[in-house]
Structure 1
Amino acid sequence: MDTDAYSDTLPGPVIRANVGDELAVSVSNQLDRPTSVHWHGIALRNDMDGAEPATPNIDAGTDFVYRFSVPDAGTYWAHPHTPLDTDYGMYVPVIVDDPNEPAGYDQEWIVVLDDWTDGVGNSPRAIFDDLRSRGMGRMGMGRGIGTSRLLGGVAGDVSYPYYLVNGRIPVAPTTFRAKPGERIRIRIINAASDTAFRVALAGHAMTVTHTDGYPVEPTEVDALLIGMSERYDVIVTAGEGVFPLVAVAEGKNALARALLATASGEPPGADFRPDELTKRIGTVDMFTATPQAGLEITGVDVELSAVLTGGMMGYTWGINGRTYSERQPLPITEGQRATITFTNQTMMWHPMHLHGHTFQMLDSSGGLRARKDTTIVLPMQRVTVALVADNPGVWLLHCHNTYHMDAGMMTSLDYTT
């Protein structure tokens, strides 16, 4: 099977650096179309963001070098920002370490989740064309997609042939090896295009330590809901045996899995679902940034609004009633403290992502919670986040459902001079 990838592996090889390092990443575009590399979650300089209009795409047959510094430790990832390309398999973990951070763990396990169709089902382009012509049609409820309480309704638009952990299907999982009693830091990245995952490690509780790369007050859960492009870091203390890490495709009656092995033994079957999946399920509202990781926002200079609009009829999505080609950018001035209120007027859930910045979630009373760059907005619900305008440029703000974004649910946050 031919597919698109970085360096012929899925996921691509990990890019690793220390806080403050200057990275130079050379990209050789051997595809038959333009591409780009967006450095998801990193507060880098605008012209290296890897998304038009800030950074021109890399033409077929040409090379480009991205050069930027990495100011914050965390779990990030990189992927194209050209139409539908993320759903073809081009993504790579990006880990930024702080050498001064106490380790607190013995091993690290990077877990990348994905939904997969290219080469085994309809191509992403065929899926998109079908959605545009039929709406839900045969890609929707009649094709193995149900509803999810955690997602507030219909779980997604696309039913995939496979769901993957680190590029492998459930019957041929990767195995991470450790010793009983070791503390393992699991960095979980959802690289999927249309799938939220509920993740649990059989026989283990997980202590959530980071959301989208930033520390939170340690919180113990049994499972985690992870939307597209979100990242969570957790710590587990390994038991003795062979344990499946199961990522259920939320509302889609399918799963992905990998194995943790600390002793000999046979794992449960490929369709096994651990009890932890139905116990304490971690969602974003449960987590609060540590004082050191907070943005220290004490007031608001400007209140911005992003109303999520559109629907399945004709499969057109937008922000503030406009598709990206018709957008009215959200204006901001350097130094301002701002809130963005996402008001979801659609019957679908949307993982909303802001480039070049992180924001802090606000609870119903205005209190500062987890620090993130992507957050789930449930159908007919409202979410408010706070940010500091400290990185001038033209920055995209969009739904990280690949198909919603390409159908128009994207605008920009534009700094004025």
Structure 2
Amino acid sequence: MRSFRTPARTAAPTRRTLLGAGLAVAGTAALSACSSSGSGGHAGHGGSASPAAPAGFVAPDGKEVAAAEAARGSGPVRSVRLTAAATTVDLGAGRTVRTWTYGGALPGKEVRVTAGDTLALTLANNLPQATSLHWHGLALRNDMDGVPGLTQRDVRPGGEFAYRFAVPHPGTYWFHPHSGTQLDRGLYAPLIVDDPKEPLSYDKEWVVVLDDWLDGVDGSTPDAVLAELRKGMGGGGHGGGGDHGGGHGSGHGSSDAASATPAPGASGPSRMMMGASSDLLGGDAGDVAYPHYLINGRTPQAPSEFRAKRGDRIRLRLINAGGDTAFRVALGGHRMTVTHTDGFPVGHTETDALLIGMGERYDVLVTAGDGVFPLVAEAEGKKATALAVLRTGAGAAPAATVRPAELARRVLTADRLKADPSVALAARKPDRTLRIRLTGGMEKYDWAFDGKPYTPDQRHPVKAGERVRIEFANATTMWHPLHLHGHTFQLANVAGGPRKDTAVVLPNGTLTVDFDADNPGLWMIHCHNVYHAESGMMTVLGYRK
């Protein structure tokens, strides 16, 4: 067994065996090396990159942001060009769809850097809509965070934006738009930040991206799904309960499967979820019934395959890029050792399966057995699965419907993990406590914080140097994966909890997190259910001057 080290920066990494993330990309849409266009970004066809500075708060391109970036240092520059464009992708077994991707691949080709590097990535927008690019989980400079109307201006069709920033922390991250429902198309890709002093030893690495898919299937688009959801349940379908009397409940789906109900007069089926239930998620599992669930862009009928040798120690980097689905993940015939969550190390913990909410990431180690094994991501509560295959020997591929016994055994959730001592926050009482209430329900589809749908002028104030505690009180009957931009918090509900940037709060539950206010600017806090966020469940953390 050998330690996995970072290669010289002369070429794209070839020593790692990746599933899907290394797909060949053809034509001018390819992800390729290019020159940087300078230290700042530019959106559309010119003009200032950032919106106007807010009174009394640090601006995204303010001197405080520049000082924090300078303190991170400036390592070797990794220059990349990325094109977002409409394309046709093959999901497997003869199923092709028209969607939007980065570089024509699904998932987009990974970007790989080493902690301490400077990433200079130019996004070219060949889409019919304005877009943006958010670096999920990174504590980067605020004007590069990729939130239109808050930290930058839209990247208009035909325009470009030059993102450039220091990458401070190793770990498993990803990037996606922060523009409307575009995340629920094919616009996502892994961002892997290697540790120059990698403490783990392993033989191979498998980057695994999970997704729920509807774009281009029977005329479906995420925008059409959001429009349908915004009409609300009107007291039907999901049953009573919730903040506004509509809420989520047991529904009236079929007795043996969660389902979508046809919408009269619609060109395609309704995508409103009925009958999805999960004890792990505290009841209702989701709002949207997806026709497909994918691992690295493939359906279970034509899964991607990862090859290794018996006895190989494999590092799986698991990323949930879904819009509305938590996944329960297990590798048939194996136990997993969890080593990281959201990029930060934890005390090593063994489990049979783990639950991953939208936006969360987990790194796990497995020692490969001899044979052919299913990696299954069960769409939690939705009675469907995604599939990939680990092959170390001869044998038939597992059936598309395989459900390994490990899925029903011990299932790990984040609250059972402890931060590794190297990343645990120092003991300190909070200087400031922010209390945020999650509100809304299915009847009106009016998800929000404190009953106020998002506007860019919202501010939850903090000051640099403070230890900040946020108490999220979920007054809804739905679970929500909550994401804080630009920071990593520590779960405070449990002693010594893990460091994360995205965490699940259960129905009628409370999530308490602590973080150090050490990255000035304006930062989004939002639900990472894309439909909840676009309906208003977003707000802004702002640093006072």
Measure the CA separation in 2 of the matches of 1:326 and 1:93: 28
- Rounded to whole Å, the distance in 1 between the matches of 2:445 and 2:113 is 40
**Structure 1 position 134, deviation (Å):** 3.2
Q: Name 1:402's counterpart in structure 2.
A: 530
5 Å matches for 1:328-339?
328-339=458-469
CA gap of 1:85–1:312, structure 2 versus 1, over 3 A, is same
| Unpaired runs of at least 5, structure 1 | none
Which one-letter code corresponds to 1:112 in the other structure? V
| Equivalent in the alignment of 1:413 | 541
Residue in structure 2 matched with residue 285 of structure 1 by the alignment: 415
Amino acid corresponding to residue 387 of structure 1 in structure 2: F
Contact 1:301 1:338 in 2 (8 A): yes
State the Cα distance separating 1:355 from its structure 2 match: 0.3
Between the aligned partners of 1:295 and 1:95, the Cα distance in structure 2 is 24
Match among 317, 321, 328 for residue 191 of structure 1: 321
Q: Residue type matched to 1:241 in 2? A: G
> What residue in structure 2 maps to residue 255 of structure 1?
385
Match of 2:197 among 100, 104, 118: 100
Aligned mates of 1:172, 1:138 — CA distance in 2: 33
- Does structure 2 retain, via aligned residues, the 8 Å contact 1:297–1:386? no
Secondary structure, counterpart of 1:369 in structure 2: coil
139-148 vs 297-306, which deviates more?
139-148
Whole-Å Cα distance in 2 between the matches of residues 387 and 372 of structure 1?
10
> 3-state SS of the aligned residue for 2:398?
coil
Letter in 1 for 2:358: M
Does residue 1:317 correspond to 2:414, yes or no?
no
Mapping for residues 77-96 of structure 1, pairs under 5 Å: 77-96=174-193
Matched, 1:13 2:109: yes
The one-letter amino acid paired with 1:239 is G
Aligned residue for 2:455, secondary structure, equals: helix
Within 2, Cα distance between the matches of 1:135 and 1:9? 36
> d(CA) in 2 for partners of 1:215 and 1:5?
31
User: Once the two structures are superposed, what CA deviation does each residue of 1:231-256 show, in whole Å capped at 9, x if it has no partner?
Assistant: 00000000000000000000001000
Question: Which residue identity lines up with residue 346 of structure 1 in the other structure?
Answer: T
Q: Please tell me whether the aligned partners of residues 210 and 232 of structure 1 are also in contact (alpha carbons under 8 angstroms).
A: yes
Instruction: Tell me how far apart the structure 1 counterparts of residues 485 and 508 of structure 2 sit (CA, whole Å).
Output: 24
Q: Quick one: distance in 2 between partners of 1:328 and 1:363?
A: 26
Paired residue for 1:380? Answer: 508
Q: Which stretch shifts more, 47-56 or 393-402?
A: 47-56
Whether the 8 Å contact between 1:6 and 1:91 is mirrored in structure 2 is yes
TM-align CA RMSD: 1.4
Give the Cα–Cα distance (whole angstroms) in 1 for the partners of residues 414 and 164 of structure 2.
32
The alignment's TM-score, normalised by the length of structure 2, stands at: 0.75
- The answer (yes or no) to whether the contact 1:297–1:337 under 8 Å persists in 2 is no
User: Is the 2:456–2:540 Cα contact (8 Å) retained in structure 1?
Assistant: no
Which residue of the other structure, out of 337, 346, 354, is the alignment partner of 1:224?
354
Instruction: Note if 1:43 corresponds to 2:139.
Output: yes
CA distances 1:82-107 after superposition (whole Å, capped 9, x unpaired): 00000011001000011211331100
Q: Kindly provide the CA deviation profile for residues 366-414 of structure 1, in whole angstroms up to 9, marking residues without a partner as x.
A: x231000000000000010000000000000000000000000000000
Structure 2 spans left out of the alignment, 5+ residues: 1-96, 239-247, 254-258, 260-273
Q: Indicate which of 481, 497, 512 corresponds to 1:369.
A: 497
Q: Number of paired residues?
A: 415
- What percent identity do the matched residue pairs reach? 54
Q: Return the alpha-carbon distance in structure 1 between the equivalents of residues 473 and 432 of structure 2.
A: 17
Query: How far is the alpha carbon of 1:326 from its aligned partner?
Result: 8.2
Q: Does structure 2 conserve the Cα–Cα contact (< 8 Å) formed by 1:216 and 1:370?
A: yes
Residue 352 (structure 1) aligned to one of 477, 482, 490: 482
Write the distance in 1 (CA, Å) between the matches of 2:125 and 2:411. 41
For the residues of structure 1 that align with 2:423 and 2:311, how far apart are their CA atoms? 29
Which of 120, 127, 131 in structure 2 is aligned with 1:31? Answer: 127
Q: Which residue of 2 aligns with 1:151?
A: 281
Within 1, Cα distance between the matches of 2:459 and 2:450? 10
Distance 1:153 1:402, change over 3 A: same
Shift of 1:138: 6.7
Match for 1:7: what amino acid?
Answer: G
Partners of 1:382 and 1:138 lie apart in 2 by: 27
Question: Is residue 165–residue 258 contact of structure 1 (8 Å, CA) maintained in 2?
Answer: yes
Q: C-alpha separation between the residues in 2 aligned to 1:295 and 1:65?
A: 33
Q: Structure 2 CA distance, aligned partners of 1:99 and 1:328?
A: 39
1:328-360 Cα offsets, whole Å, 9 max, x none, are 421100000010011000010000000000000
Residue 3 of structure 1: aligned partner: 99
Query: 2:275, 2:145 → 1: CA distance?
Result: 34
Q: C-alpha distance in 1, partners of 2:126/2:335?
A: 43
Point out the structure with max Rg over C-alpha: 2
